[in-house]
A = this chain, B = another copy of it.
């Protein structure tokens, strides 16, 4: 945390609003910002199948103002944006699979919700700086790798279409109303604090749950499709550096900048957890359509503009993530089995054993 304090010392005294702040990225921003001296307000609707989890704010909860509410609530959002220096707008419907099954819900959250935040800023706090979480899914079908920010938008999901609309809102509110806004197109995020309830998004984390539960990992197709896995903390550092910069508006890819084969990712997890089988299977229908083709983001733009580098290799990131969920699995709704004994390791059991060792 000392490194974080130094790197983010300019956050001291700043007022932050983080929508979706109980989710993986939002809570991780809070986990960096609170020790740096920022005053953090978290807005999260805690929708059951989404990423909101109060345990994500563990250790800083007392210093955070938590508001349970929805970004589509115009009155609430209007109150919350007032006086904020930095607004991290991360609340979203985040499953591209669900977006294609219920496009109207995705429209409501990812367009109307985001528009509500921007309108509130225009009316009540036009001096705020906005950070918007966009996605590699705006590119959809990839024409060439590595993907630069000017790659065509071949959205293969309603989620991608609406993330693109969210981005263009930011640009419009910047150009017309002077709002400052930075957009981050996130590759394949993973790491501690992501939801583990289902595998509709965040496949790496889902594999870690499967592995910790002693279940086999299913590789889709030949497992050679390249993905750009980026560790939670690396994304959060990029967003915070962007927030603290003076750049009035821009769009950045954020990713590892390197491709990892899907199968290699699975094998890495299997080896790390131990005693886990990797099984090839055909692509599930819903996933196949949006996921086919390699994706590797070109991250030269963010490197240059924000002096940002991804610091956590996939091996290191997987190790940290496995360790986190081994320890805290009960907080994320599952039980981890030890690879060797197949005995259940719950958080409380580990805490007890840790206490014993320390005692």
Interface of chain A residues 100 through 154 with chain B (CB within 8 A): 100, 103-104, 107, 111-112, 115, 119, 140-141, 150, 152-154
A100–B165 alpha-carbon span in the complex (Å) = 14
Q: So how many copies of this chain end up in the complex?
A: 2
Question: Is there an interface contact between A115 and B103, defined as CB atoms closer than 8 Å?
Answer: yes
Smallest CB separation, A96 vs chain B (Å): 11
Question: Is there an interface contact between A176 and B289, defined as CB atoms closer than 8 Å?
Answer: yes
Q: Which residues of B contact A119 (CB under 8 A)?
A: 103
Q: Which interface class (under 10, 10 to 19, 20 to 34, 35 or more) fits A?
A: 20 to 34
A107 CB contact (under 8 Å) in B112, B141, B152, B161: B112
User: Among A152, A157, A158, A172, which residue has the most Cβ atoms of chain B within 10 A?
Assistant: A172
Smallest CB separation, A31 vs chain B (Å): 33
A165–B159 alpha-carbon span in the complex (Å) = 11
Q: Which residues of B contact A153 (CB under 8 A)?
A: 153, 168
Q: Which residues of B contact A152 (CB under 8 A)?
A: 150
Contact of A182 with B by CB under 8 A: no
Contact of A237 with B by CB under 8 A: no
A155–B175 alpha-carbon span in the complex (Å) = 9
A165 CB contact (under 8 Å) in B111, B141, B156: B111
**A168-B155 contact, Cβ under 8 Å, with A115-B103, A115-B107, A176-B289:** yes
Question: Is there an interface contact between B161 and A165, defined as CB atoms closer than 8 Å?
Answer: yes
A157–B168 alpha-carbon span in the complex (Å) = 9
A152–B161 alpha-carbon span in the complex (Å) = 16
A112 CB contact (under 8 Å) in B104, B115, B165, B289: B104
A156 CB contact (under 8 Å) in B111, B115, B164, B176: B176
Could you give, for residues 13-52 of chain A, a 1 whenever the CB lies within 8 Å of some chain B CB and a 0 otherwise? 0000000000000000000000000000000000000000
Contact of A346 with B by CB under 8 A: no
A41–B111 alpha-carbon span in the complex (Å) = 31
Smallest CB separation, A266 vs chain B (Å): 26
Q: A interface vs B, CB < 8 Å?
A: 100, 103-104, 107, 111-112, 115, 119, 140-141, 150, 152-158, 160-162, 164-165, 168-169, 171-172, 175-176, 289
